[in-house]
C-alpha cells in the first residue's frame, strides 16, 4: 500500500502599506501586520510601503508599485499579498488580476485569526457573523477566490461553504446568526443582572492584544485561561472572582484584545463581548511597557473604549512586563491610578490588590455590630446592598462585620 504525505502549502506573503499621513507610522503598522500574518500561519518574505497623497481608489497602490510587488513576489516565490488597510471589492479584484496571486487585507487576516481562535459557541457565532458581513459586500470581488481549492488564510469558517457565495443565502444565514446571538446576549444580560443583585463590583481587564491580560487574570485568580505570546491568543471573555486580602471580593473579566484598525465588522459582531467594559464598575488597562509602541497602543485602547461608550469610569493603568523593561517612561496617562507590574512574575500585584480594596471601600462604611435577633431583617439589607464579611450567632444576638453603602447606613444603624 502506498501512503501519501499531504502537507499544507506554506503561505509566503508580501506585506504592502500606503503612507498618506506623516503622523502615521506605516512601517510600524507593517511590523504588527507581520505578527498577525505569523499568527495566521504565513511567512512574511517582503514588505513594501508607498508614499501617496491618497490610497489609489482602484488598486490601493499605484501602477509602478504593482510592478514592484509582482517582481518581488516572483523573486521571493511568494503566493500571496496582504495589504495593511481594508480593501474595497474593486481594489481586491483589480489587484488579484494584476498580481495573479491571492490578495488579502488586514481585516480578512484578523477575521481568519479569530476563526482559528474561537472556541465557545458564542465566539464562533460572532466570528462567522463578522466574516459573512465582510463577504456579503465583496461577493463580486471574492467570487473567483472563493472558488479556489487549497485553503489557507481567508478560507477558514464560512468562506469554505461554496453555497454561501449566493447573496440571498448569506443574508438568511446572517439573520439566523443574529437571532442566535440575541439569545446569547439575553443570557449575558441575565448573568450581569445576577451579579448586580449580588452587589459584587466588577472590573474589566482591557488592553492591546498581547499586553498580558490573560496572564494577569491567571496569576491573580488562578484561572486557567490560554495565555500565549501571540496576538489574539484568547477571544472569549472569562470572569473570575478575586478575594482581596481584607475579605472584600471583586469580579475580574478578561476581554478580547484591541488592535489598531480594528475592523468594524468585528466591533459590531463582538459588541456583547466588548460591552463587558461598558458595564464594569472599573477598568483595568494592561499596557505592555516593553513595547516601543506602547504609547500608541494606549491611545488605540482609549479610542476603542470611547467607541464602546465605556467612559467615565475609574481607570487603573498597569504598566506590565516590567521584568523585560526595568525602567520605562511613558507619558500622557489617561488614568486615575498607575502601577508598575509584571503579571508573569507577580511583581506589583499586591499593590494592585491593595488599590482595589481602597476603591471598593470608597463610599462604604465599615461596621461591627451586635444585632438583636428581632432585628435580623437588617442583616438581609446588608446582604442585598453591602458586603457581609462575617456573622456570628451568639446568645445575645448576631455579631456582624460588614461594609455598607453610605445611603444604606442609616437603615442598619
List, in sequence order, every beta strand (DSSP E) within 20-76.
42-51
Question: What is the grid cell recorded at 46?
Answer: 517582503
Quick one: which of 358, 144, 185, 360 has its CA closest to 275? 185
56: which DSSP letter?
Answer: B
pLDDT digits 0-9 by tens, 193-237: 666 655 678 899 999 988 889 889 989 988 776 666 667 766 667
Whole-number average pLDDT of the chain:
82
Query: Percentage helix, strand, coil, to 5, in the chain?
Result: 45, 25, 35
According to DSSP, the residues that pair with 102 across neighbouring strands are 80
C-alpha cell at 343: 503579571
Query: Which letter does DSSP use for residue 10 in this model?
Result: P
Q: pLDDT digit string (tens) for 52-93?
A: 999 999 999 999 999 999 999 999 999 999 999 999 989 999
Q: Residue 149 — very low, low, confident or very high, per pLDDT cuts 50/70/90?
A: very low
> In the structure, what pLDDT confidence band is assigned to residue 96 with cuts at 50, 70 and 90?
very high
Q: Which runs of E-coded beta strand occur in 234-359?
A: 238-243, 249-254, 282-288, 314-320, 337-340
Least confident of 29-33, 165-169, 382-386: 165-169
pLDDT tens-digit readout, 297-332 = 998 899 888 888 888 888 999 999 988 876 655 555
Res. 146 pLDDT band, cuts 50 70 90: very low
User: Distance between CA 215 and CA 351 in Å, rounded?
Assistant: 17
Is the distance from CB of 180 to CB of 230 less than 8 angstroms?
no
Amino acid at each position: 500500500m502506498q501512503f501519501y504525505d499531504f502537507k499544507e502549502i506554506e503561505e509566503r506573503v508580501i506585506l504592502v502599506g500606503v503612507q498618506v499621513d506623516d503622523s502615521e507610522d506605516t512601517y510600524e503598522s507593517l511590523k504588527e501586520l507581520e505578527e498577525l500574518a505569523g499568527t495566521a500561519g504565513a511567512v512574511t518574505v517582503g514588505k513594501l510601503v508607498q508614499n501617496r497623497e491618497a490610497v489609489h481608489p482602484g488598486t490601493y497602490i499605484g501602477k509602478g508599485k504593482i510592478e514592484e510587488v509582482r517582481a518581488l513576489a516572483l523573486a521571493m516565490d511568494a503566493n500571496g499579498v496582504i495589504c495593511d488597510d481594508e480593501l474595497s471589492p474593486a481594489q481586491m479584484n483589480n489587484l488579484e488580476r494584476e498580481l495573479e496571486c491571492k490578495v488579502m487585507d488586514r481585516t480578512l487576516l484578523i477575521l481568519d485569526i479569530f476563526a482559528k481562535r474561537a472556541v465557545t459557541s458564542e465566539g464562533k457565532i460572532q466570528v462567522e457573523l463578522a466574516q459573512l458581513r465582510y463577504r456579503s459586500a465583496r461577493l463580486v470581488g471574492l467570487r473567483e477566490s472563493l472558488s479556489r481549492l487549497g485553503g489557507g488564510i481567508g478560507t477558514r469558517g464560512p468562506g469554505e461553504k461554496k453555497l454561501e457565495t449566493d447573496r440571498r443565502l448569506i443574508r438568511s444565514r446572517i439573520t439566523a446568526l443574529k437571532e442566535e446571538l440575541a439569545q446569547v446576549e439575553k443570557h449575558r444580560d441575565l448573568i450581569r443582572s445576577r451579579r448586580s443583585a449580588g452587589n459584587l463590583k466588577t472590573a474589566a481587564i482591557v488592553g492591546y492584544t498581547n499586553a498580558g491580560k490573560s496572564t494577569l487574570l491567571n496569576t491573580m485568580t488562578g484561572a486557567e485561561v490560554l495565555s500565549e505570546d501571540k496576538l489574539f491568543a484568547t477571544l472569549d471573555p472569562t470572569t473570575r472572582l478575586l478575594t482581596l486580602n481584607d475579605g472584600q471580593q471583586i469580579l475580574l473579566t478578561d476581554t478580547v484584545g484591541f488592535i489598531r484598525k480594528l475592523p468594524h465588522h468585528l466591533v459590531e459582531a463582538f459588541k456583547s463581548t466588548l460591552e463587558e467594559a461598558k458595564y464594569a464598575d472599573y477598568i483595568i488597562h494592561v499596557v505592555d511597557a516593553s513595547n516601543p509602541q506602547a504609547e500608541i497602543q494606549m491611545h488605540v485602547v482609549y479610542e476603542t473604549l470611547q467607541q464602546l461608550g465605556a467612559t467615565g469610569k475609574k481607570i487603573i493603568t498597569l504598566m506590565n512586563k516590567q521584568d523585560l523593561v526595568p525602567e520605562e517612561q511613558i507619558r500622557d496617562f489617561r488614568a486615575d491610578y498607575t502601577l508598575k507590574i509584571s503579571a508573569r512574575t507577580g511583581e506589583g500585584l499586591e499593590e494592585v490588590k491593595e488599590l482595589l480594596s481602597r476603591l471598593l471601600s470608597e463610599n462604604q462604611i465599615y461596621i461591627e455590630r451586635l444585632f438583636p435577633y428581632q432585628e435580623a431583617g437588617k442583616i438581609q439589607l446588608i446582604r442585598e446592598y453591602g458586603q457581609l464579611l462575617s456573622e456570628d450567632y451568639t446568645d445575645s444576638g448576631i455579631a456582624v462585620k460588614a461594609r455598607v453603602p453610605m445611603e444604606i447606613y442609616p437603615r442598619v444603624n
